[in-house]
Structure 1
């Protein structure tokens, strides 16, 4: 028999041989072990988040959801739950737990499951550097790497890495993200029961998470709570309360504070262009846009409501589907009473198949009364729609024709119809998904910062951003730029142009080109300013001829329009060129800012995951005297004498690690911009009923804003395929467009609906009726925060009294005269020789509106 001493010696030898063998293995594998130095400066793979200018989250992009937290930000109960479950002796061992290791080895020998041998440090080694393959070599690498980690980092640093790295299901990595994904909470707000659920996920996140497998999650939670009780982290009372709590987890996405998908996508695409997809999605960038929440919400509200209004006045296209369509029998309809009643499950199944687009809600008609209906919505709400929410719904026949006004509800809907409704202040209204599309963009004319962007009715319906991607014919929105060229080539606002029909033979096509006014009314000799206010087509063509295409196209290019995209024929004067709404808005910004070309941009700054600014926009500023755009501390005595290139300021900026100040390039003269702005103000405020026929500007509807410091231009293309309104105040420019994505369709016309109020829009659709309402609605909100600010009159502009009919000087002060602006040296010098007093009279007669 072996003596105890011999057994002890053999044991020591075996241990020494084991240690030697282990050391030998370490030496042989050392070159294959990963370097753990990178753990000192770990860069978490966190999603990119996009914010509004006022800090509201608009969206996040990235496959992995992670919210990195320091150990101090983790609640102690959550830390305790993890330690009790994953590694009870974490703060006692050296990276490998001998007790746990022996238990695991014994379990393998006896065939009993005694638990895993992996410590938290070993899991960090595996999660950061190794694979999950079940081999002894991988396990040895894991042990050796754990030794290195323990030598390099403190226990708290290792635990913090683990809690931020671990995968916890549903693409949540780390406990910060898991708390948001499963409970829509910060970790500090979790209950003990919820913390125990999360602490149990590392064992098997795909099969034990509370969303996919709530029963298994509950069982695992009980194990975690039992371990916390045994290790004295919680009391018996806390255990009982938590173990009996219901499983409350639901899947949550990022908490979107500002729903602005078109704006967020613009920033998203720019980030991919800057950094590439992988880096953009994993580096944790925080992208702050120029969009403000108030203006973005106003823009979305305006576009959606305007499209719904257009859709309604053109008639109801019918339900999404019918669950109980009455069938004809012996030339008579089967009564509703004879139809099989709808089951609750049928309603639920039907509504689940309908995609809802804000603010449209899906509903099923469950009862049709004489002038009301009963509906059931997706959330099982039962409601009624009164006649005021139904009576608009005459039949849609085509874009130009609607059916007769309905008298009772059964002429509109049937029992079992699946419909869209909207919820308004006075209850629910029948609605429908608009078939037309629209866009609105607003930006600062001072530097091009985009303040609001809406690229369609719904991003879920169509991700095509019509603000940046839809090049559409601009119609009369081109005219201010044509008139601007005319002012640079000898014309004034008081110059007379002959407003009579044009007939011109085109040798290339073999046709006679006859550009016409719309409506076909002609005024003979007419002043340039009034012609723009009334959007006279013939006058625009005559001005183009006077300027010449060779001069006009370079002039239009100075506003940022690509010259190779401009038609080289006279149709250019009527808006045959195609631009995006963003390009149009940027062009109009040149008039608003006094003549400077600005470059639109949407990203104001980019921060890395640590909050460091890695990019700061530095747009060119539209200004002559730029002191108003500079920080106060930079205003030095040298400012008044500095060169045009702002070299003095830029030297100061460089010393203070600030970007160079960039002054925008001038596109047109300040005088030209001011005169066109005055003419565009006439589009809204211009009117004269003292002479026959009386007239008013095509944008007169904007007078309801009660702001004299606004200007704008309507625009409609041939056959009303596109309708526009672009307008601005001194500090904000906005463009509204509406049309069909299918270019073969036109906006049509609508007839009077006797069921609706008298202020309804009827007749042919065009810029002032179709696009301007959205612009007015948006500007009503936008102008609330903008004090009334007149457009600055340049020093070389003078004002003189002229005769309205001839544009010559006059000494009369009656309604035959008006004050007009001129560039110094261009004012008329001749006085009128004929008295027009007899032609002046009062009248309320109005002509048909023009576009």
Structure 2
């Protein structure tokens, strides 16, 4: 009995101590809560949390051009995440997630016991809710204070959000390595897939990453990733999410992860960099994390065409000037070859340039070679795909045509090749390590990285929207954007603007100038200036239509003299050319002014749109992550018929029926001031210049009567077979720059090619007997060197656009003139043609039966 009383006494004391300890514990926790409560953030902000997502750049038709931002994230709703992925994370990170109140007492007890036994702090006590609290509000420091705050925040989060909302935040926020945050980004980075395309084995790899994204990374540490995957699968098996068969199959799957960049679907890296710079200037560094989507004006179809046209033309130019040899040699003839793995390791260090891939020559036969291409693909280069490769000597000299593959390649050479069946397009440099699929065929062509640079830009003459832009062969090769940054002498591309000035001052397409040599003494230089035609052919008195179409240099000089340099510069300035940078001498008439391809294309747009100067732009609109428009471009448009359209508007008529014509006039005035691009030349002037440039493509005369002639752009007529196009070649002294600019319906395009070094000339290429009749040979100039890219682009750019008739301005008349003199004629045979004139400027005299020359002599000094 006495012992029972003693037991009860101690039991009461024990219960009191437990009660007291519990009360003190509760009081301590309450005290801690009230102490830390003012320091705790408002968890309700999680309802409106803006996950940091990168800025994305799209084409006008929704193709992804680029992605900018340090953190990669693809936010997903909980409904979009596969059930297996949810199970993998729950089994691994927090099996009791849906039953605990934000903290897991069992996990906390386990962590406490571990701390007592080992003296080490464990992370095993953190629930998914606690990890959300830490990821959004706290640091990762391992302190008791941070842990206490984490617990209180977890409890508050559970009171504020549903379990599914918490889990979605976790799966979208968690860092998973390689700058990927959230499971959507991880699926893309490691497997190039969306989450719904992942296998169980791949899901398990990703679910194992939160513990240590760097150490368990499947790319950097595949063996550790395999071990961690087994742990994840094992926990899924224990919790009943998968059966033994699924476990075995996923556990035996290879670790197949490889680095994948953003899902770029349209290669336009030069344009993407222009966007990045403008957005950064407008919005600052926050643009990289705010998740904004930038929609450009670029057309995917036309951008792809521009990229291909420029690259094909540059490769063609480069190859006709000869092969510069192997990039380097891995072994000499007397040395033992490297192993295949050693070769692949060397090739993997080589970048990709467009469709060019590095390859090692394994063996060379009489007329073919065996190669190992970057990515581990074996292939063959047959004779037809290497016979172009005669030796490069200088820009104007090539060696003899090769007769066997041994003259071109040697075993151990590293060279550039292109796969003939599967041309893999260039992606931004960060994606160069992406594993490429094996080509369908093993046929490759010998190639090389072009030395020359090039640019191609296409804009809409209606409002200046850039439809396509390529600033060089490869953004990986050079970030220098030649469309906007290369200020180069324009050569004969300047001439349409000179003729526009002549038409503005009373001259016509039928006016005559003397196409004869000039020999003028320059007192300041102490020499005679003798500008020459190219080729040096002189036709005597020549109509301005023909002179521009044939690109007569001496006629341009005479027009400059007729009008004066000041008048000419004032007129050129109307087209956006900086007057203070234009040469104030007669060399301006031959294109000594330095301009960018963008400036040239914009100026040519004035001829295409009827006389308005539009401003090129490339961003159409900017949206935030919710699709709200942050910015909308409102370009000024070129519109000859806008006044008539506004005046004829039914809605406006309904309003003016009550208020009178005053409102209509106000609307027209508003449109003129706010919506329309500035008019810089008359519609008639633009039309006359366009007609002369149309003759540059289609020529004139009568071939049946042996008076036919070609303009400098005749190749476009042969290839495009359209009469609604106009263009002008351009070549500078010593052929350091070659141009072709022109337009078709609603599309203006400028193509340029030249070396970035001003010391090098485009040179010339001798005929290669190994190649066919269609090869380009001889001296390089605008029509041979720059125009092919323009033509190839226009084939696609105008595809599906019906051929249109020329719209003739109201103040234009047509009369029949004599082809030789430009005077009126009654003849209706091959000696005459109908010509366009601004009303009132038509010739008033008729040609005489034998009129003779209108020039008596040519000045000598």
TM-score, length basis structure 2:
0.90
1:571 to 2:584 alignment: no
Per-residue CA deviation, residues 271-317 of structure 1 (Å, 9 max, x unaligned), is 112211x2111011111111111111111111111111111111111
Cα offsets for 1:228-249 (capped at 9, x unmatched) = 3333333343333333333332
CA contact (8 A) 1:816 1:836 kept: no
Alpha carbons of structure 1 residues 649 and 457: separation in structure 2 relative to 1, 3 Å = same
Select the residue among 146, 170, 174 that pairs with 1:162.
Answer: 170
1:643 deviation in Å?
Answer: 8.3
Residue equivalent to 1:697 = 711
In 1, are the aligned partners of 2:458 and 2:750 still within 8 Å (CA)? yes
Tell me the equivalent position of 2:597.
Answer: 581
2:348–2:375 CA contact under 8 A, matched in 1:
no
1:179/1:185 contact within 8 Å kept: yes
Farther-moved stretch of structure 1 (180-189 vs 823-832)? 180-189
Residue 86 of structure 2, aligned match among 63, 69, 79 = 79
Q: Give the 3 Å change call, closer, same or farther, for CA 99–6 of structure 1 in structure 2.
A: same
Shift of 1:752: 1.4
Correspondent of 2:39 among 18, 32, 43: 32
Residue number among 10, 18, 25 corresponding to 1:3 in the alignment: 10
Structure 2 match to 1:274: 282
Name the Cα RMSD after superposition. 2.6
Q: Does 1:593 align with 2:606?
A: no
- Which residue is equivalent to 1:395? 391
CA separation of 1:836 and 1:305: change in aligned 2, threshold 3 A = farther
**Residue of structure 2 equivalent to 1:284:** 291
Instruction: Kindly indicate whether residue 357 of structure 2 is the aligned counterpart of residue 344 of structure 1.
Output: no
Residue 495 of structure 1 deviates from its aligned partner by 0.7
CA contact (8 A) 2:57 2:67 kept: yes
Distance 1:117 1:349 in 2: 44
Deviation at 1:721, TM superposition (A): 0.3
1:448 counterpart (461, 464, 469): 464
Structure 2 vs 1, CA of residues 117 and 294 (structure 1 numbering), >3 Å: closer, same or farther? same
1:346 Cα deviation after fit: 4.9
Write the distance in 1 (CA, Å) between the matches of 2:418 and 2:615: 38
Instruction: Give the Cα separation in 2 of the matches to 1:634 and 1:315.
Output: 65
Instruction: Choose the corresponding residue for 1:718, options 720, 733, 750.
Output: 733
Residue ranges of structure 2 left out of the alignment (5+ in a row) = 1-5, 422-440, 854-861
Residue 437 of structure 1 is matched in structure 2 by 453
CA apart distance, 1:557? 1.5
Contact 2:699–2:708 (CA under 8 A) maintained in structure 1:
no
**Contact 2:57 / 2:296 at 8 angstroms: preserved in 1?**
yes
SS of aligned partner of 2:696:
helix
Alpha-carbon contact 2:298-2:468 (below 8 Å) kept:
yes
Secondary structure of 1:695's counterpart equals coil
Q: Which residue of 2 aligns with 1:417?
A: 413
Conserved? CA contact 1:627–1:635, under 8 Å: no
* Cα offset, 1:770, TM superposition: 0.4
SS of aligned partner of 2:468: strand
Question: Shift of the alpha carbon at 1:210?
Answer: 2.1
Distance (Å, rounded) in 1 between the aligned partners of 2:560 and 2:308: 38
Distance in 1, matches of 2:644 and 2:275, equals: 28
* Deviation, structure 1 residue 34: 2.3
Cα distance in structure 2, aligned partners of 1:633 and 1:202 = 63
Of 81, 90, 108, which aligns to 1:101? 108
Is 1:473 aligned with 2:469? no
Q: CA deviation at 1:325?
A: 4.2
Return 240-249 or 82-91, whichever deviates more: 240-249
Range moving further from structure 2, 459-468 or 354-363: 354-363
Moved more, 705-714 or 399-408: 399-408
1:172–1:646 CA distance, 2 compared to 1 (3 A): farther
1:837 offset after TM fit, Å?
A: 12
Q: Distance in 2 between matches of 1:151 and 1:646?
A: 63
For residue 842 of structure 1, what is the aligned residue in structure 2? none
Tell me the residue number matched to 1:637.
653
1:173 corresponds, among 156, 167, 181, to 181
Q: 2:689 aligns with which of 669, 676, 684?
A: 676
1:52 to 59, 79, 99: 59
The answer to whether the 8 Å contact 1:619/1:662 transfers is yes
In structure 2, C-alpha distance between the alignment counterparts of 1:169 and 1:118, rounded to whole Å = 20
Secondary structure of 1:793's aligned partner: coil
The whole-number CA distance in structure 2 between the counterparts of 1:541 and 1:149 is 80
Match of 1:13 in 2: 20
- 1:825 and 2:821 correspond: no
Deviation at 1:821, TM superposition (A): 0.3
Q: Shift of the alpha carbon at 1:548? A: 1.8
**For the structure 1 residues 65 and 342, does the alpha-carbon distance in structure 2 shift closer, same or farther, using more than 3 Å as the test?**
closer
Matches within 5 A, 1:491-570: 491-570=507-586
The Cα offsets for residues 114-146 of structure 1, whole Å up to 9 and x where unpaired, read as 862212221111111111111111111212222
Are residue 315 (structure 1) and residue 330 (structure 2) matched? Answer: no
Which residue pairs with 2:3 in the alignment? Answer: none
Shift of 1:33: 2.1
Counterpart in the other structure of 1:294: 301
**Cross-structure match for 2:370:** 374
Cα displacement (A) at 1:481: 0.5
Partner of 2:724: 709
Please name the residue that 2:134 is paired with: 126
CA distance in 1, matches of 2:256, 2:342: 28
Per the alignment, residue 701 of structure 2 pairs with 688
Deviation, structure 1 residue 650: 11
1:624 partner SS: coil
Q: What is the alpha-carbon distance in structure 2 between the residues aligned to residue 744 and residue 639 of structure 1?
A: 66
TM-score by length of 1: 0.91
Please, which moves more after superposition, 620-629 or 301-310?
620-629
For residue 250 of structure 1, what is the aligned residue in structure 2? 258
| 1: CA distance, partners of 2:80 / 2:113 | 39
Counterpart Cα distance in 1 of 2:560 and 2:681: 18
Counterpart pick for 2:679 among 666, 670, 677 = 666
In structure 2, distance between residues paired with 1:719 and 1:639: 64
**Separation in structure 2 between the aligned mates of residue 597 and residue 385 of structure 1, nearest angstrom:** 50
Q: 2:360 aligns with which of 338, 361, 364?
A: 364
Question: Do the aligned partners of residues 633 and 196 (structure 1) sit closer, same or farther apart at CA in structure 2, a change above 3 Å counting?
Answer: farther
1:727-766 correspondence to structure 2 within 5 Å: 727-766=742-781
Matched with 2:786 is 771
Q: SS at 1:203's partner residue?
A: coil
Query: Is contact 1:634–1:649 with CA below 8 Å preserved after alignment?
Result: no
Structure 1 unaligned spans of 5+: 327-337, 654-659, 839-851
TM-aligned CA deviation for residue 97 of structure 1: 2.2
Q: Give the whole-Å Cα distance in 2 for the aligned partners of 1:303 and 1:77.
A: 47
The structural deviation recorded for 1:24 is 1.8
- SS of the equivalent of 1:467 reads coil
Which is worse superposed, 716-725 or 224-233?
224-233
Change (3 A) 1:181 1:371: closer
| Aligned partners of 2:395 and 2:763 also within 8 Å | yes
- Partner of residue 335, structure 1: none
Aligned partners of 1:835 and 1:264: how far apart in 2?
Answer: 63
* Displacement after TM superposition at 1:514 (Å): 1.9
Aligned to 1:848: none
Looking at structure 2, the residues matched to 639 and 619 of structure 1 have their Cα atoms a distance apart, in angstroms, of 27
1:212-268 CA distance string (max 9 Å, x none): 222222322233233333333333433333333333322211111112211222222
Change (3 A) 1:319 1:54: same
**Alignment pair present for 1:237 and 2:245:** yes
Q: Cα offset for 1:692?
A: 7.8
Distance 1:353 1:202 in 2: 31
Aligned residues: 818
Q: Which deviations, in whole Å up to 9, do the C-alpha atoms of 1:652-681 show, x marking residues without a partner?
A: x9xxxxxx9711111111000000000000
Between 617-626 and 688-697, report the one with greater CA deviation.
688-697
3-state SS of the aligned residue for 2:621? strand
**C-alpha distance 215-366 of structure 1, shift in aligned 2 (>3 A):** closer
